[in-house]
Structure 1
């Protein structure tokens, strides 16, 4: 058996930044469970993923009963389900046993859990009260969860395309810069290469961050966040303060939204009848507010990208003008041979 320490778990599995719910309410327990699981058992990440789904469905079954004791039990089971869901990734990182299929399974099961629990929670309340508002609330929860993760994936995809474009331009610019120096037509100042390296760093995903951090892309020196940072200089101070506690600035993300609906709302309803809809509305409004910030930042980033791209293309064109005709002919010949 392995002999991982608690410090090993923290160093190897904690993300550089994570949701505040995870950092404060999940990681302290999950880290100890991961150490025990990794050292004493042969449980795999995929088995933990399946276990998280089973607990999530158990939470849904409790929500469907709708009485306050079962609402409390359902909230507890959902929290345990999310804890297991966090453990699967930690075990994979700790032991190096992650897989593409495991990542897919984790994502799909997360969506299944949200769908099942939304239908069970709101359906149970509708059956108990006859209030059709619970039906529409269930639809809203599923829609918001879908919107959040579709938006995250699409922005991540577009940012990847932007990054790849700049990487290709950097390679092209470097070749042209070398050619100009060899031809003796320009100074060796590395201006194009340096600017492209800066832009590349701005777009590079943080390997320690989760999907949401990669979507936000708020590197302190990010060239593509220049306009946002100019408009909101105080944001960097808040971000850096949160970062010291491993908390990302996206304070109400899909995770906090889920916890608000499936943990806070049932707990509140166990004390105050009818609290589920107001708590769900507040959770949804908070998530939408932060999503709008992300979209706004992405819009500003796209403007910075377009300006940077135009400037770099102009510089590359300038380098081409300095090259002798022989270089262009040689480049065309190489392209034809390829």
Structure 2
């Protein structure tokens, strides 16, 4: 007799949701996706990768509708695109629900997403150029592709920058710990929170830049190091306290403050624009909004680098103070350990 299939509950499905996500996803996608996930997970053997491929197939159908270019075809294409996106949001949730996620599955999902978006953008703008003869649509195609690519390149570079800052702080802490131990000062190993995320979560990771740190307290007889936390957004939070209150309000509803991200960029151009017949205007406005929010993220990261530099300098100064009280032979031994 075959083993009875486990039945998941709606609450278990909701636990697979991201702690914060784009408002379009939270309000218009997750409520539908959650109720589609239940029968899919409970009564079928459909895998996340199969859902990714099915979503991509629907996306290609939307591409064809956009290429036809008539109003009816555009509306159908918009609806298909949204259905495709809903199914695309299901694969990751089912993978987390069943514990069947894989690196290949993540790569497949991200790659197909990029292909679908680029093809839809090209088909939509080219069809309108073909029908109207307005060369502006060709320029808008390049604008769309440039904005989309710039947004993802920016996300990857910021991901690398955050990772590099965390790495430098970890290395500096390890050096401080070894130096303190050589001087007979016992400190706890700092607990470093690793908030690195895959590319699909890069905007969420942008909101949180908290790391543990070891802070030095100077005493006339000896220096004590205590474990504390450092927030790499201290300067930003001090400058924009009202922003933090608004952010907390949205976070209670799982909505992140990046209100016009890559998701809204797609949805406005591929759903709102075709249905309301305002393709040119939507591409222009959406690009401006996307770049404005990307600029805001860059500003936040710039302030974070200043907080990082202050913390890095503080650790180095603490290390140098301890090195100053080390006997010469201990200092030489400590330096040899650093070289190794």
TM-score normalised over the length of structure 2:
0.88
TM-fit CA distance, 1:205: 4.2
Kept in 1, the 8 Å contact 2:179–2:334? The answer is no
Partner of 2:272: 264
Number of the residue aligned with 2:286? 283
**Worse-superposed segment, 287-296 or 98-107:** 98-107
Instruction: Single out whichever of 291-300 and 227-236 deviates more from structure 2.
Output: 227-236
Distance 1:298 1:332 in 2: 33
- The number of equivalent residue pairs is 318
CA contact (8 A) 2:210 2:232 kept: no
Q: 2:216 matched to which residue of 1?
A: none
Aligned partner of residue 210 in structure 1, secondary structure: helix
Once residues 219 and 133 of structure 1 are traced to their aligned partners in structure 2, the CA distance between those partners, rounded to angstroms, is: 45
In structure 2, the residue matched to 1:10 is 14
Structure 2 counterpart of 1:168:
171
Q: Which residue does the alignment assign to 1:211?
A: 202
CA distance, structure 2, for counterparts of residue 334 and residue 74 of structure 1 = 63
- What is the match of residue 141 of structure 2? 138
2:158 is aligned, of 143, 155, 161, to 155
Give the 3 Å change call, closer, same or farther, for CA 175–332 of structure 1 in structure 2.
Answer: closer
1:175 positional shift:
2.6
User: Does the Cα contact within 8 Å between 1:114 and 1:142 map onto a contact in 2?
Assistant: no
- In 2 relative to 1, CA 232–134 (structure 1 residues): closer, same or farther, beyond 3 Å? same
Which has more strand, going by share of residues? 2
2:224 is the alignment partner of 1:245:
no
Unpaired runs of at least 5, structure 1: 183-187, 270-274
- Assess, with a 3 A threshold, how the Cα gap between structure 1 residues 282 and 218 changes in structure 2: closer, same or farther: farther
Q: CA deviation at 1:223?
A: 2.2
Distance 1:36 1:18, change over 3 A: same
Matched, 1:50 2:53: yes
For 1:297, the equivalent position in structure 2 comes to 300
User: Deviation of residue 219 (structure 1)?
Assistant: 5.5
| Distance in 1 separating the partners of 2:55 and 2:322 | 57
8 Å CA contact 2:178–2:334 kept in 1: the answer is no
Q: Which has the higher helix share?
A: 1
The CA RMSD over aligned residues, in Å, is: 2.2
The TM-score with structure 1 as length reference comes to: 0.88
Q: Which runs of 5+ in 2 are unaligned?
A: 212-228
C-alpha distance in structure 2 between counterparts of 1:34 and 1:79, whole Å: 16
